[in-house]
Structure 1
């Protein structure tokens, strides 16, 4: 089998023009794999710790590399555990989750090449081992951000993301229609961090009204062809349960992500009970609440605070730990949303990961900017292979 012969990190720029980490893995039989690490703007305090990208690269090249050279590239679990032990902290603060994850993902990509398998099939095989299940790969439904506010928008809107849930082509059509509406009404706008519109609107409901108008003008039907969701980002946007329920009913919303702050466990559980009274399908998602950590997800399962979870590998720091969280979520019948970050790269790993673990949704931003569109295109490529 292929053995790791070289591990090399370097600093690159993400979609925001900020430094991040890229890792190259070479094997003794001439294979080469490259992966990079995203980072978020709105983050949970429970996420694994990042270090400055230049320090992360130094840690990769001077500390991690020496331990990995000569290791079987397919020994993913052992390599991840080795890096966790090498770091020696509870939240990867010594080496940095950005250093560890970059290596972890690049190792997986190299291992897929060594196994002569598409990445999603290799990851699926690994996930079956982690979850002790017979999970088959599945194409997730895209969650595409159309309008942004909060820390992502730089405007007066409180809610961070207004999401369209449907096919990629539907998302592109609605996005283009929103653009026409904003121009026709002479509403000033810029593009936010993830390619969504950041319009000069005063109220969150104004944004929802524009999206509903765009859906109708695009010849689509709400809750038949497409669905609507919100990422409230409750750490930064404070709303009452009554206001959230009112929006849920008025706009026939399907998904609500982080409606409250990451410590508001009881508010989550109370809202879940209120949403259940509606008799409609809904998705109440924890992102900052769970931070892709098993212990936090287990608490959420025990306390019945949600029925969905955002999966972000860089919140926990290794591929193995990410898959362990997905396995626990599936066991609890939670729906999974594999997600990007606001600071992205042109890496498409999350598309393969979402298919491999049979995630219900892939959230990768607006289907327009190159670094977002590449991930949705990768879904299309995998769909043709399946």
Structure 2
């Protein structure tokens, strides 16, 4: 996605291995699909270089084209879209200016408002195995978040990142507005371990999902893997299965699973 100068609007397109007995099998599925996607991109003449989070960065020209290719890779790797789902990090603030979103919908340049984005997301959820959308609106569009969560929150995970910035005061505001149903957690965004744990506790005590995340500029430190398991967070976001600073977190999770 956008993290890799791909020309796509959405920042990240993610695999979510879903129906597997353990982490090891989920990781294997993710790896096999990643390498299958590489072969598909190469066969179609697209670049297979990776961006700073290890994801592919082909110039596809349409967000839907990326989703089509991911679904194809899931199936060609021998899995189903029941077993492996898709998550999006839209990062809508990045294409929002003066109250308008400038993006490509079905490959067509579009000026959209919040209502049009909601329609588009509903179309995508219907067509593709999407179960998570992060930052679907600009970071201060609270009413749009609340509307979409009310409409789609029983079907998918709606994640606040730019909206909440791992900040307890912002998370409290989101709870009051029922703006999301999951919170992205970044240790070095809020600054201390204790504040991070406070943010996770507040999120989980309201019945929302906490998702521990890496950053786009990352090191080989693996502490977020321990944080995710230790706090009972339901998901971790650590980038693709390439680049050592991304893979190190998955290796640590494998070690933890062996110990447990």
TM range (shorter): 0.7 to 0.9
Q: 1:190 aligns with which of 49, 62, 70?
A: 49
Aligned partner of 1:349 in structure 2 is: 223
Contact 2:10–2:88, Cα closer than 8 Å, also in 1: yes
Unaligned runs of 5+ in 1: 1-148
Aligned partner of 1:173 in structure 2 is: 32
Aligned partner of 1:234 in structure 2 is: 92
Q: Does 1:382 align with 2:256?
A: yes
Aligned partner of 2:150 in structure 1 is: 273
1:83-94 aligned at under 5 Å gives the runs none
Q: Displacement of 1:314 after TM fit?
A: 1.0
Residue 233 of structure 2 aligns to a residue in which SS? coil
Inter-partner Cα distance in structure 1 for 2:151 and 2:65: 25
Inter-partner Cα distance in structure 2 for 1:169 and 1:317: 33
Q: 2:66 aligns with which of 207, 215, 223?
A: 207
Aligned partner of 1:337 in structure 2 is: 211
Inter-partner Cα distance in structure 1 for 2:166 and 2:43: 42
**RMSD (Å), alpha carbons:** 1.1
Larger radius of gyration: 1
Q: Displacement of 1:330 after TM fit?
A: 0.7
1:215-234 aligned at under 5 Å gives the runs 215-222=74-81, 224-234=82-92
Alignment deviations for residues 102-133 of structure 1 (CA, whole Å, 9 cap, x no partner): xxxxxxxxxxxxxxxxxxxxxxxxxxxxxxxx
Q: 1:262 aligns with which of 135, 139, 146?
A: 139
Q: Displacement of 1:187 after TM fit?
A: 1.6
Inter-partner Cα distance in structure 1 for 2:207 and 2:220: 31
Query: For this pair of structures, how many residues does the alignment match?
Result: 233
Aligned partner of 1:9 in structure 2 is: none
Inter-partner Cα distance in structure 2 for 1:247 and 1:210: 14
Alignment deviations for residues 155-194 of structure 1 (CA, whole Å, 9 cap, x no partner): 2110010000121111111110010001111123421111
Inter-partner Cα distance in structure 2 for 1:321 and 1:188: 41
Q: 1:253 aligns with which of 121, 124, 130?
A: 130
Aligned partner of 2:20 in structure 1 is: none
Unaligned runs of 5+ in 2: 18-25, 96-100, 102-111
Residue 165 of structure 1 aligns to a residue in which SS? strand
Alignment deviations for residues 222-277 of structure 1 (CA, whole Å, 9 cap, x no partner): 1x31111100001113362211221121113100000011100000011112214x
Inter-partner Cα distance in structure 2 for 1:288 and 1:268: 12
Contact 2:38–2:48, Cα closer than 8 Å, also in 1: no
Inter-partner Cα distance in structure 1 for 2:159 and 2:61: 26
Residue 196 of structure 1 aligns to a residue in which SS? coil
Relative contact order (C-alpha < 8 Å, sep 6+): which is higher? 1
Aligned partner of 1:47 in structure 2 is: none
Residue 216 of structure 1 aligns to a residue in which SS? helix
Inter-partner Cα distance in structure 2 for 1:190 and 1:160: 16
